[in-house]
Structure 1
Amino acid sequence: MDNARTRQALVVRGGWEGHSPVGATERFIPFLVEHGFEVDVRDGPEVYADADTLAATDLVVQCYTQGEATDEQVLGLSAAVANGTGLAGWHGGVCDSFRGSPDYLHLTGGQWAAHPGGFVEHEVEVRPERADHELVAGLRPRWSLDTEQYWVLTDGLNDVLATTTFQPAEGTPWREPLTCPAVWTRRWGAGRVFVSTIGHKLEDLDHPDVRTLTQRGLLWASR
């Protein structure tokens, strides 16, 4: 990387307001600026069809829950990541976006399926065999949260750094404990993808371990 060049971050936010896309991203924009990024904020995925803008972008931070994106937009984002642009995000802003796009799911490697019980007390556990990874090194091995616990459908290309386990209870349709990825990274061509499922509430992002993890994830994903 040419250290003389100012890195470019593109923040794409919007969609369902229940995930506070403005408030959530504003928590991390100053961090990016402090780390030398010039930040461009957009309110929708239309920019993903602009190949020149994406080619000049080192990091896309997406906080856009649900919504729609055209094939041109999604394929533009996927191509940019394959060419080295990083993609990072959290919660539904990245793993519950553009549900009608198989290409987007292919890029990110995971899709939210459910959050049984709504806000529930649960733990996120760093996988012991990945505890030395730079994104989770030095963090506590388990974090207790009281928020949405994401049940996600994922694939084997992901490098899972942390998990969360759903316990069966009376009335649940699953009868055995089910462990889901909670944090993962993914290589896509020359690019890197970082996904954390944590962050329904703004205060979730202020949890010390979650905040540190997310900040590290943004820097890790960047070109």
Structure 2
Amino acid sequence: MKRALIIYGGWEGHQPATVSAYLAAQLKEVGFDVTRTPSLDVLDDVDTLFDFNLIIIHWTRGELSPERFDNISAAVAHGVGLAGIHGGLTSAFQNNKKWLWLTGGCFVAHPGGLNTTYTVKILDHQHPITQHLDDFEIQTEQYFVLMDPAIHVLADTVFAAGEHPEATNPEPIHLPVAWIKRWGRGRVFFQSLGHDLTTCQRPEVTRLTLQGFQWAAQ
């Protein structure tokens, strides 16, 4: 049986306890043994991290010490998967630049807020994470991110030209919604949907998330 560790906490606006419980339930349904913890202390022991197939970080904002980063980095490089959704991964620990390198990108803004309606376009229909998924429309935050050129983008979205005057982009901008990357022997997965439980429970979002977690766990 594969083992997943979910570390949740940080800013309460992302409902970390509620959403992480939903993610745990989905993983249990496909056969994972899941441990949830509301503390970063588990990152102090690298040997403990090696016992898991997958580490899910659901922690918005916060601080990550160099020692804790080194431990999780070593675990992923060893082959433990790393995954997360929405601000729980790419808006976590933004003062730690190495964390941004490990995860593949960094949240910057969601200019239209929660009432933004946009299309998620699946780019790689052959990948296990996007199997049985077609393009879909959703109303939630549209994430503007900075990204590592090394990531492989599975799905993206378009920020229209001139929609946000302060941005001054003269042409439409395509930015990723879901991506993967490698870190040593480990797999990293991220998707940007999941501001609240209602968004996470959308069938398309649940499938994208769960298949991403399963892929990252190898």
* Shorter-chain TM-score tier: over 0.9
Aligned length: 215
Equivalent in the alignment of 1:59: 54
Q: 2:196 aligns with which of 184, 193, 201?
A: 201
Q: Which residue of the partner structure matches residue 188 of structure 1?
A: 183
Partner of residue 145, structure 1: 138
How big is each residue's C-alpha offset from its partner over 1:7-65, in whole Å with a ceiling of 9 and x where there is no partner? 22111000001111111111121222233322221112221121111011111111100
Question: Is contact 2:111-2:164 (8 Å) kept?
Answer: no
The answer to whether the aligner puts 1:134 opposite 2:128 as a matched pair is yes
Instruction: Provide Cα deviations, 1:152-200, integer angstroms capped at 9, x if missing partner.
Output: 0001211100001111236342232111011001111110011001111
Contact kept, 8 Å, 1:147 with 1:201, in 2: the verdict is no
**What is aligned with 1:3?**
none
Which residue identity is paired with 1:49?
Answer: D
Work out whether residues 180 and 190 of structure 2, in 8 Å CA contact, stay in contact via their aligned partners in 1: yes
Tell me what 1:173 maps to. Answer: 167
Greater CA deviation, 40-49 or 11-20? 40-49
Query: Is 1:27 the equivalent of 2:33?
Result: no
**Cα pair 1:90 1:199 within 8 Å, conserved:** yes
TM-score normalized by the length of structure 1:
0.92
Q: Which runs of 5+ in 1 are unaligned?
A: 1-5
Tell me the CA shift for residue 105 of structure 1: 0.6
Ranges in structure 2 where 5+ consecutive residues have no aligned partner: none
| SS in structure 2 at match of 1:135 | helix
| Residue pairs, 1:31-180, within 5 angstroms | 31-119=26-114, 120-127=116-123, 130-140=124-134, 142-167=135-160, 168-169=162-163, 171-174=165-168, 175-180=170-175
CA RMSD of aligned residues (A): 1.2
Q: Judging changes above 3 Å, is the alpha-carbon distance between structure 1 residues 116 and 49 closer, same or farther for their aligned structure 2 residues?
A: same
Question: CA-to-partner distance for each residue in 1:132-166, whole Å, 9 max, x for gaps?
Answer: 111112211x2111110000000121110000111
One-letter code of the match for 1:124? Answer: V
- For the residue of structure 2 that corresponds to 1:94, the secondary structure is helix
Measured in 2, the distance between the counterparts of 1:19 and 1:153 equals 20
> What is the identity, as a one-letter code, of the residue corresponding to 1:102?
K
In 2, distance between residues paired with 1:114 and 1:170?
A: 12
1:109 shift after superposition: 0.7
- How big is the shift at 1:206? 1.2
Q: Distance in 1 between matches of 2:54 and 2:119?
A: 29
Normalising by the residue count of structure 2, what TM-score does the alignment of the two structures yield? Answer: 0.94
What is the CA–CA distance in structure 2 between the aligned matches of 1:69 and 1:204, rounded to whole Å? 27
SS at match of 1:27: helix
The whole-number CA distance in structure 1 between the counterparts of 2:128 and 2:163 is 36
The residue type paired with residue 57 of structure 2 is Q
Identity %: 39
